[in-house]
Amino acid sequence: MFASISEMFCSVQGEGPYVGVRQAFIRFVGCNLRCSYCDTPIDNVNHCQFEKEPGSGQFEAIKNPLSLKNVEDMISSYQNIHSVSLTGGEPLIHSDLIEQLDVHPPLYLETNMTLPSKAKQIAKKISYVAGDVKLPGEFGGDDIGSHMDSTIECFRILRTTKERDCFCKLVITKDTDTEYIHEVMEEISDYISCAVLQPVTQKTAASDVRSLLELQDRLLRNINTLIIPQTHKMWGCL
């Protein structure tokens, strides 16, 4: 079993309710969407950049694709890990490898929530789900109806249980259609522990504070709603 991975490193989670926990990150190559605000290199890369010593900035280039054993050994080299963040790109594209992945820390899936059959394949292995809701005008496709059906189905499959915490993340820009957010939240609020509003980090596209607080106020009537910006860029870590 092999997969192309762009980076592996140990850092802290920079978004959402688990901000600050120490994680090993596997950043998979490839994505099925093309979001307007994407700042992640998602196309194929020849080598995986592996940071052996956390925070050192020294990377070893390892030829892609990596074997399952390679990935397990690299993850096991990190100490005191809360969880392993499966991120990308879109990690669900690599569900075959994730299904086989045998590592001690629990798995934390960061996904765009648009690939329900792959979500089903690995649901039992996942302890944390940071599920995005990609809104109209953001996800790079035309068929918003089937896009949202897939999103809701993914939240149903990966919903919060005794063994798993599933929350949703909404990136908020000044153009965000807040009415649409309310419609989606009505469909998924039973499946999640909380909603996280994440103001987009580029200043020109940021939402203003008052609109964010109004949105939070309305959502709080149905679901615990947090406003948490990305923290990595504040202190310059990966």
Nearest distance in Å: CB 186, ligand SF4: 23
Shortest gap between Cβ of 136 and ligand SF4 (angstroms)?
Answer: 14
Q: How far is the CB of 73 from ligand SF4 (least distance, A)?
A: 26
List own/partner pairs for 161-166 with CB under 8 A and 24 or more apart. Answer: 163/127, 164/123, 164/126, 164/127, 164/128, 164/129, 165/127, 165/128, 165/129, 165/193, 166/128, 166/129, 166/131, 166/191, 166/192, 166/193
The residue among 42 and 181 lying less far from ligand SF4, judged by its C-beta, is 42
Cβ closer to ligand SF4: 79 or 204? 204
Cβ-based nearer residue to ligand SF4, 28 or 128: 28
Residue 177 · residue 170 · CB < 8 Å: no
DSSP class of 235: H
Q: How far is the CB of 130 from ligand SF4 (least distance, A)?
A: 11
In the complex, least distance from residue 35 CB atom to ligand SF4, rounded to whole angstroms: 3
Q: Which residues form the interface with ligand SF4 (CB under 6 A)? A: 31, 33-35, 38, 40, 42, 88-90, 112
Q: Which is nearer to ligand SF4, 19 or 38 (CB)?
A: 38
Report DSSP letters for 54-102, one per residue: TTS--EEEEESSEEHHHHHHHHHTS-S-SEEEEESS-GGGGHHHHHH--
Q: Give the shortest CB-139-to-ligand SF4 separation in angstroms.
A: 7
Nearer to ligand SF4, 34 or 174 (CB): 34
Q: How many CB atoms lie within 10 A of CB 215?
A: 21
In the complex with ligand SF4, the residue whose CB is nearer, 31 or 122, is 31
Give the C-alpha separation, 212 to 216, whole Å. Answer: 6
Work out the number of other CB atoms within 10 angstroms of the CB of residue 16: 20
